[in-house]
Amino acid sequence: VPKFKPSKFTVAEVTGMKWLTASLVSMVGFALFYGPQPINDLLLGIAFPIHAAIGASAPVTDYIPIRQYPKLRKFALFLLYGGTILTLYGCWVINTKDVGITAYISRLWHAREQKKLD
C-alpha cells in the first residue's frame, strides 16, 4: 500500500480549520457566559462565515470533479464564496447598525416568549 504524503497546503488547511473550530467554541462559550460583547460579536461575525465556507467547499470539491465539470465547479464555488461575502457583510451590518450578533440571536431565541407577553 503506497503511503500518502499530504501537501503543505492540505496540512495548513486542516490545521487552520481545527484552530478556527476551537476558537469558535471558546467564542460561543464566552458569549453564553458574558452576554453580548462588541469584540466577541465582531469575531463571531468573521469566524462563523469563514468556517461555514470552508466546510461547505469540501462537498463542492469532492462531488463536482474539475476534470468532468470545470465550469459547474467554478460556478458552484463562485456562488459559495459570493454567499460568504454577503454573509460577512450581513454580520457586519448586524454588529455595527443593530444590537450585535449575540443579542440578535438571543432576540430570535426568545421571540416566541416575547410574542406571548405582548
Can you say which residues are annotated as belonging to the binding site for heme b? 51
- Enumerate residues 6+ apart whose C-beta is below 8 A from 34: 40
Can you say which residues are annotated as belonging to the binding site? 51, 63
Can you say which residues are annotated as belonging to the binding site for a ubiquinone? 63
Q: What is the C-alpha separation between 11 and 90, in angstroms, rounded?
A: 31
Q: What is the C-alpha separation between 40 and 60, in angstroms, rounded?
A: 30
